[in-house]
């Protein structure tokens, strides 16, 4: 049985600074970001809101999608988020 993987986008506020990541445990990773346990960019910019995610059955597909999104223009990412989460709510998982 394959383990699910996720790509996710987090923000520090609606239309704010964005971070795109990949993980095999979205609940744990989200908790780490929210509690400042992830050193680096997300901690520096207080990025704690989960605003978008996608589920994959294969980690390689998730990594490919993460790389694709990281190369997207900011405008495209915002459109993706707003289609999925129009009010920029901090998503519960």
* pLDDT single digits (tens) 4-26: 999 999 999 999 999 999 999 99
DSSP-derived secondary structure for 55-81: EESSHHHHHHHHHHHHTS-HHHHHHHH
In tens digits, the chain (93 residues) has pLDDT values of: 468 999 999 999 999 999 999 999 999 999 999 999 988 999 999 999 999 999 999 999 999 999 999 999 999 999 999 999 999 999 988
In this predicted structure, what is the pLDDT of residue 93? 84
- Candidates 24, 8, 29; CA nearest to 59 is 24
Q: Tell me how far apart the alpha carbons of residues 78 and 72 are, in angstroms, rounded to a whole number.
A: 10
In this predicted structure, what is the pLDDT of residue 65? 98
User: How is the chain split into domains, by residue range?
Assistant: 5-84
Assigned fold of 5-84: GIY-YIG endonuclease (3.40.1440)
Q: Tell me how far apart the alpha carbons of residues 83 and 48 are, in angstroms, rounded to a whole number.
A: 20
């Amino acid at each position: 049985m394959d383990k699910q993987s996720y790509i996710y986008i987090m923000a520090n506020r609606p239309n704010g600074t964005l971070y795109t990541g990949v993980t095999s445990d979205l609940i744990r990773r989200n908790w780490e970001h929210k509690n400042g346990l992830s050193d680096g960019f997300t901690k520096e910019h207080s990025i704690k809101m989960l605003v978008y995610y996608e589920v994959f059955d294969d980690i390689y597909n998730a990594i490919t999608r993460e790389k694709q999104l990281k190369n997207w223009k900011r405008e495209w990412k915002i459109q993706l988020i707003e289609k999925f989460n129009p009010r920029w709510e901090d998503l519960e998982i």
